[in-house]
A and B are shown apart, each in its own frame.
Chain A
Amino acid sequence: MSEKKPLLEISNIDTYYGVIHILQQVNLRVDEGELVCLLGGNACGKSTTLKTILGMVKPKVGKIMFAGEDVTHQNTPARVKLGMAVVPENRRLFAPMTVLENLKIGAYVRGEAAEEDLERVYELFPKLKERSSQLAGTLSGGEQQMVAVGRALMSHPRLILMDEPSMGLAPKLVEQSFEMIANLHSQGVSMLIVEQNANMALSVADRGYVLQTGRIVLEGEAKELAGHEELRRAYLGR
């Protein structure tokens, strides 16, 4: 594993919201083709970590390397252009626009959306093809999740950042959603997944980090973490 090339590497990140110090000395790495999960309880700074990686908030100190470039001072669109894509918390679809338009927006940085990219998404989520002219805001939660993932895929990302993909889904759909994630992973897509559902996340991930009030307190192979006594007590409910 360790001889793999790092795709994303953030080092010694400190992020503030105004005067509130959220992330403290966070270090995190995602290798090429790897699936990494970021675990942690509510309000510990998981979404903030993703936002910092994407450039929606700027860290006060620290460095973010992506695809061999220092992107610490680049804005979000530039990072997306370099190959980041996000499936935001709560999906954040563009409600009054159709499913098709939502998907096409995902390809914005590449120019006009290509037919074959759309076909690829439709292959993954056949349901979206039937629903392509429906307004995104009228979709069910599960369908919206598909659009959010499909939208992220449209930009041919090198790294997908997913913020709680299982949020608000029925147990069955959570399972399907992780099947889909594993499936994408097997196709070689690198992913960083933020999850509350530690069990599920660790079952598909290669490696994991545990965040607690803005600090990384644990990191390691997914299998190791799944067997970790303290973690089990804290998050796996056993």
Chain B
Amino acid sequence: MSESPVPKEITHSAPAEAAKLGIGTDEWVAQHEERTARKKGLKGIPQLISETVPAWARWVVLLAAAFAFGAFVDNQYLLRIGVNLGLFVMLAYGLNIVMGYAGLLDLGYVAFYGIGAYGYALMSSEQIGHHWSTWLSVLIIIIGTALLGYIVSLPARRLFGDYLAIVTLFFGQVFVQLVLASDNITFPWADDYVDITAGANGIPGIDPFSFFGHKFLNIRDYYWLLLVLVALLTITISRVNRTRIGRAWRTIREDALAAESMGVMVNRLKTMAFVTGAAIAGLAGAIFAAMQSAVFVSGFDMPLMTMIYAAVILGGSGSLAGAVMGAIVMSVLPEVLRVTNYSEILFLAVLVLTLAAVGKSVKRFTINIVSIVLIGFAVKILLGFASIKITPTEEWVVGPVSRALSHWMYVPLDRVLWGNCAFVILIVLIAYFTTTTPRIKTILLPIIGYLGIFLWEVRLVTDVNTTRQLLIGAMLVVLMITRPQGFLGKPRVEVL
């Protein structure tokens, strides 16, 4: 149905009129350029960058930054964060293939990471007494996890969505339980029991990697190894994604039946995704075990799984750059939160930014800040009259921010009770806030801001784990509302 040429179209009663209106011509294509809207101001910057800076240039910048980090940073703690980030990126890449491209909801993915780690531990420690060469063990692990991925994919590829999730979840739990139970295996023909995995005690004393006689004694060695691996994976995966295989993966995610009717061998491609993801996770596991020199099965359970999923979803399922971004958020943020000084500053920065984003104008923003300060003093005076006992400053001040706040904030003695109350009220208020009229919103906003600071200082700043979970949850909720496709994901469009 090609567009017929213009003159042929204009055979109506008033040809000149029609020509002026351009009836029959494709106005949309003609106006395509002008119609591409550009966001103004700060919000337009991401769009501007994505339009002017080519993707490869962004990767080069990222690579250069990672290289500089490895070359110039000497702090062991920072290097360890870098290594963790590298592992996280590998895991996110693997999951991105399985879940992001092929759309398979694999909730047992982290088990392959654990199998890689335990596999290396068993081949390179006193646990069974093997000290095989790194090359051999890593090769066995890659092949082994790929094979296992194949086996898991056999029942899984007949399943969709929820069913697949349940089966893989089960697989992940079986791995954990097997490791826990395999410290005490008895055989009918032997008197003594056999200890394979040391159960919950974990396996210590794992050999570091050793290639060509070079032992990886420094954490920096692992950093370089991971940098090279991640770079190679980035290139390979993005290449594959542009071939027919990558395309076919994405068609399966969208509409497996339609894909099949185009000749895509759906089952085979699902298996390929599973196998690739499993092998990447297995390799990452081996590196983790060698770097850490000890493995514990608790590290390969649901908490890590949720973090990896959060990373892939936050960054934008199906996007490699998104996976990197999600991995940075998910692996670096918890470390920042661990140091209370940083976390305090971070929290305040987030709060101020949120107020700025919600307030829209400088005037509104100032009013909000001033209101919060006033509310603080008002509460201090009121609670002072009610003579509720106060926590001595030195007991709750943890950093410069809280020191400054201590002159302003009234911290009751029972911080757990008051903190929990504040938490409940805060959630109710936020829920109400999202549904109410603009006028009430203006009144509510400073109160919510105050309660947020109160809750943070009274309860959360010293309770790192809870904070981390809450923060990740909050981020996911906010993202779900504002940008359902993730930071760098493509917006979803439905054919209706």
Contacts and interface: CB of A to CB of B under 8 A. Distances in A.
A127 B26 contact: yes
Interface stretch (B210-218, B386-394, B444-452, B487-495): B487-495
Contact of B260 (A76, A96, A104): A76
A56 B263 contact: no
Interface stretch (B243-251, B353-361, B365-373): B243-251
Nearest to A144: B495
A54 interface: yes
Contacts of A38: none
A218 interface: no
Contacts, number: 106
Interface string A124-145: 1111001100011110001011
Interface in B254-280: 254-255, 257-265
B27 interface: no
B1 interface: yes
Interface residues of A, number: 47
A88 B494 CA distance: 16
B263 A137 contact: no
Contacts of B261: 54, 56, 76, 80, 86, 88, 92
Contact of B255 (A77, A92, A107, A179): A92
B31 interface: no
A137 B495 CA distance: 5
B254 A95 contact: yes
A180 interface: yes
Given A104-B244, A105-B251, A151-B262, A127 B495 contact: no
Contacts of A113: 244
B434 interface: no
Given A77-B265, A97-B247, A108-B263, A88 B258 contact: yes
Contact of A177 (B1, B250, B254, B259): B1
A56 B1 contact: no
A106 interface: yes
A173 B1 contact: yes
Contact of B264 (A90, A105, A130, A131): A105
B2 interface: yes
Contacts of B255: 92, 94
B29 interface: yes
A3 interface: no
Interface residues of B, number: 29
A95 B1 contact: no
B192 interface: no
Nearest to B265: A77
B3 interface: yes
Interface string B227-259: 000000000000000011001101100110111
A45 B288 CA distance: 57
Interface string A146-178: 100001000100000000000000000100110
Contacts of A54: 261
Contacts of A137: 493-495
Contact of B263 (A80, A127, A144): A80
A155 B261 CA distance: 12
Contact of A176 (B1, B29, B493): B1
Contacts of B259: 94, 105
Contacts of A91: 495
B331 to A, nearest CB: 28
Contacts of B247: 97, 101, 104-105, 108
Nearest to B493: A137
Pick from B26, B494, B495 the residue with the most CB of A within 10 Å: B495
5 contacts: A80-B263, A93-B495, A97-B250, A104-B247, A155-B263
Interface of A: 54, 56, 76-77, 80-81, 86, 88, 90-97, 101, 104-109, 111-113, 124-127, 130-131, 135-138, 142, 144-146, 151, 155, 173, 176-177, 179-180
Given A81-B263, A92-B261, A94-B258, 15 more contacts: A56-B261, A76-B260, A77-B264, A91-B495, A96-B490, A97-B247, A101-B250, A105-B264, A112-B244, A125-B1, A127-B3, A135-B490, A137-B493, A144-B495, A155-B262
Top-7 shortest CB links A-B: A137-B493, A80-B263, A176-B1, A109-B263, A92-B258, A94-B254, A95-B495
